[in-house]
Amino acid sequence: MIEKITKQQLINSVGKRFTKVYYNDITKTHICHELKSKKPKTEKEVCDIIGNNSWTTLQCHNCGNDFNQVIKFTDSFDKDKYLYICKDCLQKALSELD
Ligand SMILES: [Zn+2]
């Protein structure tokens, strides 16, 4: 499966994703509450609440850089396996093909 993933999607879903992972962690309760009440709209707002940008980094699995959008290739046999690939790397890959 091929789909576009954007950094804004990561930002918009960070509250839900973070809470799913840390709902049981009492040291993260205040962060869960802040994400829910403030509903951050930018990467900076998320960073100000969580303390880092690990939840909004959209890294290309080939070149390792952070992008605003990538293509997600999901393994058709194992939906948990996927690759994020940026436009530059896709263009390089295309130039390899006849
Ligand atoms: Zn790349």
pLDDT by residue (tens digit) across 21-55?
999 999 999 999 999 999 999 999 999 999 999 99
Domain tally for the chain? 1
- Identify the domain containing residue 13 by its residue range: 2-96
Would you state the structure tokens that stand for residue 46, as one six-digit string?
């998320």
CA of 63 to the centre of ligand 1 (A): 4
Residue 35: closest CA among 53, 54, 12, 6: 12
Q: What is the rounded radius of gyration, in angstroms, for the C-alpha atoms of the chain?
A: 16
CA of 85 to the centre of ligand 1 (A): 5
| C-alpha span between 33 and 29 (Å, rounded) | 6
Residues forming beta bridges with residue 5, ordered by sequence position: 70
- Quote the percentage of the chain above a pLDDT of 70: 100
Q: Tokens 């804004």 map to which residue?
A: 8
CA of 67 to the centre of ligand 1 (A): 9
pTM higher than 0.85, yes or no? yes
